[in-house]
Amino acid sequence: MADPQSFRLVALNCRYTHSCLALFYVRNALERHLPDAEIEMLPLTINDPYYQSLQRILAGDPEVLLFSAYIWNAALLHRLVGDIGRIRPGLPMVIGGPQAGFLGDLPDECTLVYGEIEGVDPVFYRNIGERQLRPVYRAGEGVDFPFPYRPDDFSVHLKNRQILYESSRGCPFSCSYCLSAVCSRVIHKDVATVEDELRRLLKSRPPMIKFVDRTFNDRPERALAIWAKLVEIGGKTRFHFEVAPDRFTEEQLAFLETVPVGLFQFEIGIQSTNAKTLAAVHRRMDVDRALATIKRLRAMENIHLHVDLILGLPEDDRKSFAESFRRVFSCHPHHIQMGLLKVLPATPLAGEVDRYKIIHCAAPPHEVLATATMDHRTLAELFLFGQCVERFYNNRYFPSLWRYLKQTGENVFVFFQELLTLCREREFFQRAATQELMVELLAAHVSGRSDCELLRELLIFDWLRCGHRFLPEIFQGESLADQRSRLRKAMPLSYKPLYSEWERNHFFKQGIFYPFSARALHIAGLDSAGDRAMVCFLEKSDDDLYGLRKCGLLPIIFTKIP
């Protein structure tokens, strides 16, 4: 009888905190079919030093290597297997995953597995045991997928990493740019099974569980039942879901209003609001209903909302993309991502590049370079526009400023376009994107406007709510120390809403005080009786999604506002 084989399952993740769900499924399948095998899982990242990664993969002379190929690790994986084939000729390398068949020329030692590991014919494992692998294996469809983890995974392989979980596999949509368009079937685990598996996951008290379901709420009643179970279970774990915004029901929305702050976060794919573009990529969506749902979710103030737009889709031009951005911004999500279209091999869109005159990078991740409606110069400009939004909008730094622009109906595409021009002039993208630098650029950007003084106040308010105990250089001259000293003398020994006599010193030592106009306060969510009021920024953070400082108005009777 042959000695037990040693298998090394290699993950090439984007970053250390990520995990590779596929490797756990593969490990379990190998253990079922080859119970005597010695199996090791090796998580690496695409940013690790190349030579060190190569040495770690080959250390100890494993007898079979298994890799999972994705669009983000394809270039590195192609390089690795090429070098391994030269260093260790004859060493079997098995490659699965959505990018497995599109890596280009591979060494003869490579075996490709297409499809889900649960559907691979048992002959695959027999061939491994006999050390006689074929070049290609194809999985069948219609199989169930088991729970991938075991108890020790959470203290070893998943320690300090994201935990990925799928309660369904497949997608009900057929967007032509997505690999899900190749297979239309969707398999759902029943709610009781999902509840049991989630309880097993939650025993390790992970900071976050990310559902990888392509459209978690495609069955509204099922989604609602799972959400209700998670709220019932409680705990401090956050849950991430990819959702379709036009598939929410009134019952779901009513329930979501009751969810604890920060328990859920939603990733919402809008991609485009242009009807011609959506039709071209076969994306079925009621845009008006989707945007209305996002606005309603945002008004709840308890769920983090991440909304996606795709740059470079067919039939989308600069004007229609600008309109999509304006409409999404009007919903005031917490995060707006504008990524370049990736023309993935084997997707329907890859077969339509001539029709839409799409030019894309030849190597993974195959980003779009130009289309019939967007030349490369336009795409490059809009990509940098997206980077500007990423830096300034997708953080907690300026919530009052963005709320003001939304309320006044500002053309935010023009606002960010002009801000981008200033950023280029000041070489912002070549510098560290600190909050102080961004405040400086925003203050310069709005300096010539009729509402510049109001915007200046909002920038100061947002700065202090972020926890700073000083004003940036651009706002020097407004002495925080003087404000505190004057208030310490004016306020009584005890003022119960804020402090007792023995807490007084701590209150003034830790608090930050600054006067604002009534209009600025109203925009920031505080209403005062007079034209101006003094705000106290307290030591503790608010129990909100941004984690900003608590703040409140000081009574006018004790303050003389300059």
Of 357, 188, 194, nearest to 280 by C-alpha is 357
Mean pLDDT of the chain: 92
Rounded mean pLDDT, 432-457: 95
Domain regions of the chain by residue span: 6-138, 162-372, 471-558
**In the chain, pLDDT over 70 holds for what percent of residues?**
97
Q: Tell me which CATH code domain 162-372 carries.
A: 3.80.30.20
Rounded mean pLDDT, 338-352: 93
Whether residue 560 has pLDDT greater than 60: no
Q: Residue 159: its pLDDT value, please? A: 87
Q: For residue 134, which phi and psi values (nearest 5 degrees)?
A: -85, 165
Q: Residue 181: its pLDDT value, please? A: 66
Tens digit of each residue's pLDDT (9 = 90 or more) over 536-552:
998 777 677 888 988 88
Of 433, 309, 311, 323, nearest to 383 by C-alpha is 311
Tens digit of each residue's pLDDT (9 = 90 or more) over 461-506:
999 999 998 999 888 765 788 888 888 888 888 888 788 888 888 8
- The most distant pair of C-alpha atoms in the chain lies apart, rounded to whole Å, by 91
Answer with the residue of higher pLDDT: 185 or 102. 102
pLDDT band, very low/low/confident/very high, at 556 (cuts 50, 70, 90)? low
- Considering only 176-180, 210-214, 239-243, 300-304, which range has the smallest mean pLDDT? 176-180
Rounded mean pLDDT, 156-163: 89
In 405-497 the beta strands, taken as DSSP E runs, fall at none
Characterise 498 by phi-psi region: left (phi > 0), alpha (psi -120 to 50), beta (else).
alpha
Whether residue 558 has pLDDT greater than 80: no
Q: What is the DSSP string of 481-531?
A: HHHHHHHHHHS-S-BTTTB-GGGHHHHHHH-EEEEEEHHHHHHHT---SSS
Q: Residue 2: its pLDDT value, please? A: 55
Whether residue 119 has pLDDT greater than 90: no
Whether residue 562 has pLDDT greater than 50: no
Q: Residue 1: its pLDDT value, please? A: 43
Q: Residue 419: its pLDDT value, please? A: 97
Q: Tell me which CATH code domain 6-138 carries.
A: 3.40.50.280
Answer with the residue of higher pLDDT: 529 or 237. 237
Name the strands in the sheet holding 532-541, side by side, starting at the edge strand that comes first in the sequence: 512-517, 532-541, 549-553
Q: What angle do CA 10, 16, 21 make, to 5 degrees?
A: 50
Q: Residue 497: its pLDDT value, please? A: 77
pLDDT band, very low/low/confident/very high, at 559 (cuts 50, 70, 90)? low
Of 213, 223, 162, nearest to 191 by C-alpha is 223
Residue 238 CA to residue 261 CA, distance in Å, equals: 10
pLDDT band, very low/low/confident/very high, at 172 (cuts 50, 70, 90)? confident
204, two tokens: 């390790």
Contact 548, 541 (CB under 8 A): yes
- Considering only 36-40, 76-80, 118-122, 480-484, which range has the smallest mean pLDDT? 480-484
Q: What is the pTM of this model?
A: 0.92
Q: For residue 255, which phi and psi values (nearest 5 degrees)?
A: -70, -45
